[in-house]
Amino acid sequence: MKPAPALFRLWLLLGLLLGTPGAWAAEPLHQRTARKGVLDLRGLDLHQHPISLNGEWLWQWGELRVSRIPPAGSEPTPFPQLWNKSTWQGRPVPTEGTATYFLTVLLPPHPGPIGLDMPDAYTAFRLYVNGEPFAEGGEVGPD
């Protein structure tokens, strides 16, 4: 496993059929919450506690993107959350569709090896870390 750089971009690209996956870390002991697509973990010892990636991520509804930077017009949305409880451009979204989620995780300098524990996701998804494919499940697509 390569050491993670101080600026760690995490993209979760979901082709969603029914809803988003659950929490990304079990029972976090130390919590910081993502705000407007950024989770700042600088100053934490990442090896002492599991960290949840929950909070306010940026997203693009109806688009599948592979991009290191959220495009202009990306909107904040709570994550995890079922899509039928979200809005895009002020309007409700259907339970079926596609979207791209963006989260930038700021790490302390020289964090050493870190891992990502991802529970079962009951939807198709493709996960990118630093612009590189990291994990996937199912077949992501527009239909």
Segment 1-52, tens digit of pLDDT: 444 443 333 333 333 222 333 333 343 445 789 999 999 999 888 888 788 8
Amino acid identity of residue 65, one-letter, is: R
Query: Measured between alpha carbons, how far is 91 from 11 in angstroms, rounded to an integer?
Result: 24
| pLDDT band at residue 123 under the 50/70/90 scheme | confident
CA 51 to mean position of chain CA atoms: 13
- For residue 35, give both structure tokens: 């705000």
What pLDDT score does 68 carry? 79
CB 7 within 8 Å of CB 110: no
Distance CA 5, CA 40 (A): 14
